[in-house]
Copies of this chain bind each other. A is one copy, B any other.
Amino acid sequence: MRLIVPLQGVVQGRGGLILGSFIPCTLFYLLQLYLKRNRRPPTHLDPTPSTTDLTRTSSRSSLGPVQVSLRAESIANPNPSAYYVGWSKYLEDPYDRLANPDGIIQLGLSENRLSFDLIEKWMVDNLESVMVGGVGGISRIDEMLLYQPSDGMLEMKKAMANFMSLVMRTTTPFNPSHLVLTSGATAAIEMLSFCLADQGNGLLVPTPYYPGFDRDVIWRAGVELIHVHCCSSDNFSPSIDAFEQAYRNARRHGIKVRGVLISNPSNPVGNILSKEFLYSLLDFAKNKNIHIISDEIYAGSVYGDEEFVSMAEIVGSTDTDKQRVHIVYGISKDLSLPGFRIGVVHSFNETVLTATKRLARFTTVSSPTQRIMISMLSDSSFIEEYMMTNKDRLKKMHQLLVSSLRLSGIKCNESTAGFYCWVDIRHLLGSSSEKGELELWHNLLNVAKINTTPGTSCHCVEPGWFRCCFANLDEGDIPVILDRILRVVNL
């Protein structure tokens, strides 16, 4: 297809048609001639092997280091993205207020430590009884050790559905039978990409977006991400016009668009998509007859006044609407438990559910971990207290960082959810370009010793925006960060 269509594009009409046939014909003839000349000798087709044959096989003639697959080679290639380079650098010299005060401060990793004490206390109070204690101890151990459904224990799905209904405040509660558990939301996004789009198909994604999407969608599933550009003038909120334009561009390049991938609340910007926009997006998807994947992993980390609305709330009651909406969730963010590796696919689509349930065999959550989570999620007074306190602490730390930065003349984009400030340091760029942005990022990392995520890692079209995680900070870290930024400002 890709060979033919461009030829038609170059020469229109009958000329293009003939030329479009003649060129591949000639190539075919030359290829055949080459293959004929380089064919293996017919002796190799004999059914019984002989020692002479073995020493003559064509593979033997090309001996060298054994080759791995092209896709593995591509994945193993050094990843030059600042997102990953910054992480590696941080791991070599991590900041610690007491033990390593000159180390690198990590603002690039999405981890929430603000309410760690609450989780820790729950664990200390409950782990023993969850794992072995009580009358049900023995039967629970039995359940922990042996095979369980790959897509999650029923009890776990029920607990997760209840938690999601609480967090997302949906009118209709989530149904456990629509859930598939995965080893983290990363695996859920990867699995949905695989199931909704074939290799080479595309998903529309508003920029700036979470750098991990490139890994989750492209690496294994081989699906392309088609950028829908958003601008600072709109507070980086996407518009349907931008979706339309990106859709048309993709089609023009011969890419079949199979869906839309949004993160709501947005990572990295921290804003929330309005109800009105979500309705328009569903209309857009209906119009194009494509899917919507809504990554709502920060749904319970809204600290602002705006109300979060889940895409599950937006889908109509008709079956054709429901079939196209798929939600990704997990406990890594809202419950600060990334080490537990629990993600969720929620779908109304029976084919997607059947396929993801089967594929979950490759990404099953271990039973002891499910056992702990069933207990924690069922402890409604703890969950309620945790969610409230955590939001308060997120709000406080966010305000603290934003106001402190403002005092240094640095503004942040307005945000209402998630763990990030989307920081505007365009005025500090040497040149307003990707190069200028990466130079600043490099100085922040190596001179100020702060690891941030530059906008270019999130495919932001405007240079000078940086994602900075505040949820893993201590109040005492903020003056240190500001002091260090000054090192770069005065360069």
Contact surface of A with B, Cβ cutoff 8 Å: 4-5, 8, 17, 20-21, 24-25, 28-29, 31-33, 35-36, 39-40, 44-45, 47, 49, 54, 57, 59-60, 62-73, 75-76, 109, 111, 113, 116, 119-120, 123-124, 127-128, 131-132, 137-138, 141-148, 183-184, 186-187, 190, 194-199, 201, 215-216, 219-220, 241, 244-245, 248, 251-252, 258, 287-291, 320, 323-324, 336-342, 349, 351-352, 354-355, 358-359, 361-369, 372
Contacts and interface: CB of A to CB of B under 8 A. Distances in A.
A270 to B, nearest CB: 20
A148 B368 CA distance: 18
A84 to B, nearest CB: 10
A198 to B, nearest CB: 5
Nearest to A21: B29
A76 B354 contact: yes
Q: How many copies does the complex hold?
A: 2
A124 B362 CA distance: 29
7 contacts: A49-B248, A60-B288, A68-B352, A123-B144, A124-B137, A215-B358, A362-B363
Contact of A123 (B36, B47, B132, B197): B132
Contact of A143 (B241, B323, B339, B351): B339
Contacts of A323: 65-66
B73 A351 contact: yes
A244 B54 contact: yes
Given A111-B146, A143-B339, A184-B364, 17 more contacts: A4-B28, A21-B32, A24-B25, A25-B25, A47-B248, A65-B320, A66-B324, A76-B351, A76-B352, A111-B147, A148-B339, A183-B183, A220-B359, A340-B366, A341-B367, A368-B369, A368-B372
